Amino acid sequence: MKKLLLATAVAALSVSAANAAPTVYGKGFLTLDVNTGDNDTTTTTYNTDGSVDSVVKTSVDADGRSQLNSNASRIGLKGSEALTANTDLVYQLEYGIDIDAGDAFVDADGGRMEKSDQFYSRDTYLGLKNAQYGTLLGGRLSAIDDYVNFANVTQGGVLGGDVVLASFDAPRTNNTFNYFSPNINGMQFMAMYAMDENNDTDTLGRDAFGVGGKYEAGPMNVGATYIQAGDFKVARVSGNYAISPVVTLGALYQNTDFDSDDNENAFTISGEMATATPWTAYAQGDFVNNVGGADDAEKFRAVVGGKYAFNAATTGHLYGAYLSSEATVTAPLVKVESEFDGFGIGGGIEYKF
């Protein structure tokens, strides 16, 4: 009997330890990228009566060297621990790594050069998950607009970044609480609150809050979010739809109020098409008007690319992009107009574990 009880106890402890063990996960994503372009500037000076005094045009090559880039490579630990029959403690410690470079020297205060930390915090949190009431997380977290982005299909070191071109796009915020409701028939609500602690860890400069919701069911996904930090306000709507078993179309619109005379308006449309081979082709177009709240500042980008699934964990990437931007800065008696036009190509390998 004692041997039986001992064996039962050991088995129970083994199951408990297995349940408590964290999951180790991550990915390495390395690409080779090259970009080329031109920066054109027109500087117009005026006389006091408003007439033009002079117009000077300059053009500078913006060709970049070939670069080996690490793209959101990371390693992390995550897991959960049952507290009651319906409530779990959940946790995640995720850190970004640059697998192509290691520590870099950065300019510190007073002109000193110091090494930066190779491991930098991504989404790191502790939280509670209840089957009936939802999940509450606290820590350093992605803003909730990250969960309502059904249009971005860019990958790797593509020109303009592997994101939509909106100036505000899912930043990670410190000292933050995120709430996610249970998923009910594809519908989920979410909210966030970022604390203003009046110290160097503040992310948005003051208290910020956000609310949102999304619906994910079958071939359709759609959602909306609203985030505000003082006079800064940003509203996003996004969705995608599988028009066939192999083709999915996506779109995103975002209006950002920087407390200036002109709101930024960002649009993204995209498409993905699976093929009879391991290749999946994609394309994306981004247009941003009044970039950063500046009148007549515009950006446009077109991206095409493909993903090759070697297996469930390993994906090859090829892509190319065209990016153009325009901006105008006006001061007393001076106007500076700048334009950029550039192309970029790249490719690489991504491995998830």
159-198: per-residue pLDDT in tens? 999 999 999 999 999 999 999 999 999 999 999 999 988 7
Percent of the chain predicted with pLDDT > 90: 69
* Residue 312: φ, ψ to 5°: -65, -25
Round to whole Å and give the CA distance between 286 and 152.
9
Round to whole Å and give the CA distance between 129 and 114.
40
* Residue 265: φ, ψ to 5°: -120, 120
Mean per-residue pLDDT, 248-258: 97
Q: What is the pLDDT of residues 284-331, one digit of tens each?
A: 999 999 999 988 899 999 999 999 999 999 999 999 999 999 988 888
Average pLDDT along the chain: 89
So what's the pLDDT on residue 117? 63
Round to whole Å and give the CA distance between 266 and 269.
10
Nearest to 71, CA basis, from 187, 154, 193: 154
* Residue 94: φ, ψ to 5°: -125, 135
Does 248 or 11 have the greater pLDDT score?
Answer: 248
Whether the CA torsion 151, 153, 155, 160 is positive or negative: it is: negative
Round to whole Å and give the CA distance between 174 and 199.
11
For residue 149, the tally of other CB atoms under 10 A from its CB is: 21
So what's the pLDDT on residue 320? 97
Q: What is the pLDDT of residues 188-240, one digit of tens each?
A: 999 999 998 877 777 887 899 999 999 999 899 999 999 999 999 999 999 99
Round to whole Å and give the CA distance between 157 and 234.
26
Is the pLDDT at 15 greater than 50? The verdict is no
Q: How far is CA 136 from CA 91, 128, 197, 202, in A?
A: 11, 5, 20, 20
Please, what is the end-to-end C-alpha distance for the chain in angstroms? 44
Residues in a beta bridge with 222: 215, 239
Residues in a beta bridge with 74: 27, 96
For residue 154, the tally of other CB atoms under 10 A from its CB is: 25
Q: How far is CA 251 from CA 122, 254, 322, in A?
A: 26, 10, 19
Instruction: Tell me the whole-structure pTM to 2 decimals.
Output: 0.86
Name residue 103's amino acid. Answer: D
Round to whole Å and give the CA distance between 122 and 328.
35
66: left (phi over 0), alpha (psi -120 to 50) or beta: beta
Max intra-chain CA distance, the chain: 105
Tokens of 21: 């063990």
Contacts of 16 (CB under 8 A, 6+ apart): none
So what's the pLDDT on residue 101? 78
